Structure 1
């Protein structure tokens, strides 16, 4: 299986010989969701800005969570604005641990977009700059693309996620503090889904880049995951969990994503919530 990652030297070579394809800059952080000003100040040559909040998510009813998946119409308009064409090569990056880039990678690889080759720049903008490669300023507006979006299809929901620990491993990839139920300002209820095990997605990184496939497999194996065990992941709102799905792909493991994640679960009356550092230590209902 080909790696979903591309190194800065590989991308630099591709830019020189004209085979880099479409570059997407996804600047986003939970504490700073608008990344466009930083993008305008400096981005990889030819990179198009992607607005995660408006193009990689849809904002509707609170019970859908904080970052539900974009509608087919929203995504179709976005990929054409980005200039994506049939048969395109796409490289995605961000400036913090590839978490936002992983969301874009997951969306583009699961939305029924045919004939595109999607990679994430390992280390992102920081690795590019550290290697001494240059940046451009200002906006990039490519010609409108013609990529088609057929849709996400059925995704993992609350019912299936609640049952997942009965036949596989359910991973909560948030920090240990949020997993055990320390006070949290992001969602109305703190804790984790009963039966979920904690594996923060930052464990798959070293120096801002992904660890080796063998190291990532050991991380998963520490919680009982191997190629024979079904595994699913969730986070706060479905963004960091996409990073764990990407880490799994680097290691040759298939990880399912619960897009609604804790932000949906904690806003749904009647859901059970576990507290503490074990999968089902103390349980109460929302």
Structure 2
């Protein structure tokens, strides 16, 4: 299944007999965007709060560690999600938050979830206001797998044995600036691959072939295992999604730099080179 869906395709599916469950996961670093959802959202969309529903409390495991999976399953079920029903997720346009939810659903066993390419910014259909209607209860039960998820040790090992991509801005990778975390730099062996370079000016993903060429140039091959990290497992999920568009499987280090840099015993590299 193509992991992304265009606005026109979504409009057609929403008008069909078996419309997908639609989830609005607009988010900003400063907090929830529920107010923006209530000001206008795609009809039938249910709001999901990234900080409250897709992450646990910030701490040693990072700024957006994985949430309690029982609660995650309950929130998604309350939003109408079941394993046998298609899901489409969107945010305001950057698609970092939408990609986080896409990744979490895929990691916990949902096989039919897509992201609205370009997000709400490219939606030309009607919007509705208010808190939204309560959907029929779903039956989603998270069943996580181990292949899509990295921890600090496995990310460090992958940087040596495969390809570990750093999805943050290049200046953060090089250690020139660090606006959020206490230590600047990158995981030794990781390759700089800013996720912003995976999309066109309108926010849509670049064509699959173009993305495949980009990742090949960064070291991806048919046999290499690939992992991604960022600051706290949000923009990194967007890069995993870009890899999926290109037909390349990859794992996500959810703790990312916010977890790695919190432990002073872990090595830190700076400069443009991986090591």
User: Normalising TM by the smaller chain, what interval?
Assistant: over 0.9
Structure 1 gaps, min length 5: 281-286
Distance 1:179 1:120 in 2: 27
Distance 1:168 1:75 in 2: 31
Mapped pair 1:251 → 2:246: yes
Distance 2:93 2:258 in 1: 22
Superimposed CA distance per residue, residues 227-267 of structure 1 (whole angstroms, 9 cap, x where no aligned partner): 22211110000111111111111110011111110000000
Tell me what 1:111 maps to: 108
Contact 2:93 2:122 in 1 (8 A): no
Contact 1:102 1:239 in 2 (8 A): yes
Contact 1:56 1:69 in 2 (8 A): yes
User: What is the CA distance between 1:157 and its match in structure 2?
Assistant: 1.1
Tell me what 1:78 maps to: 75
TM-score by length of 2: 0.95
Mapped pair 1:199 → 2:193: yes
User: What is the CA distance between 1:40 and its match in structure 2?
Assistant: 0.5
Distance 1:233 1:102 in 2: 13
Name which of structure 1's ranges 143-152 and 257-266 shifts more when overlaid on structure 2: 143-152
- Classify the secondary structure of the residue corresponding to 2:171: helix
Equivalent position to 1:177, from 158, 163, 171: 171
User: What is the CA distance between 1:16 and its match in structure 2?
Assistant: 1.5
RMSD between aligned alpha carbons? 1.4
Tell me what 1:147 maps to: 140
Q: Kindly tell me the number of residue pairs found equivalent between the two proteins.
A: 272
Contact 1:203 1:219 in 2 (8 A): no
Mapped pair 1:53 → 2:51: yes
Tell me what 1:11 maps to: 10
TM-aligned CA distance change 1:106 to 1:34, over 3 Å: same
- Classify the secondary structure of the residue corresponding to 2:268: strand
User: What is the CA distance between 1:51 and its match in structure 2?
Assistant: 0.3
TM-score by length of 1: 0.91
Name which of structure 1's ranges 140-149 and 214-223 shifts more when overlaid on structure 2: 140-149
Tell me what 2:91 maps to: 94
Distance 1:35 1:153 in 2: 31
Contact 1:20 1:91 in 2 (8 A): no
Distance 1:64 1:3 in 2: 32
Tell me what 1:283 maps to: none
Mapped pair 1:158 → 2:156: no
Tell me what 2:214 maps to: 219
Distance 1:204 1:126 in 2: 17
- Classify the secondary structure of the residue corresponding to 2:28: coil
Tell me what 1:68 maps to: 65
Superimposed CA distance per residue, residues 128-167 of structure 1 (whole angstroms, 9 cap, x where no aligned partner): 1xxx311111112213222212345573111111121222
Contact 1:226 1:253 in 2 (8 A): no
User: What is the CA distance between 1:126 and its match in structure 2?
Assistant: 0.6
Distance 2:69 2:225 in 1: 28
Superimposed CA distance per residue, residues 12-42 of structure 1 (whole angstroms, 9 cap, x where no aligned partner): 1111123322100010122x33110111101
- Classify the secondary structure of the residue corresponding to 2:122: helix
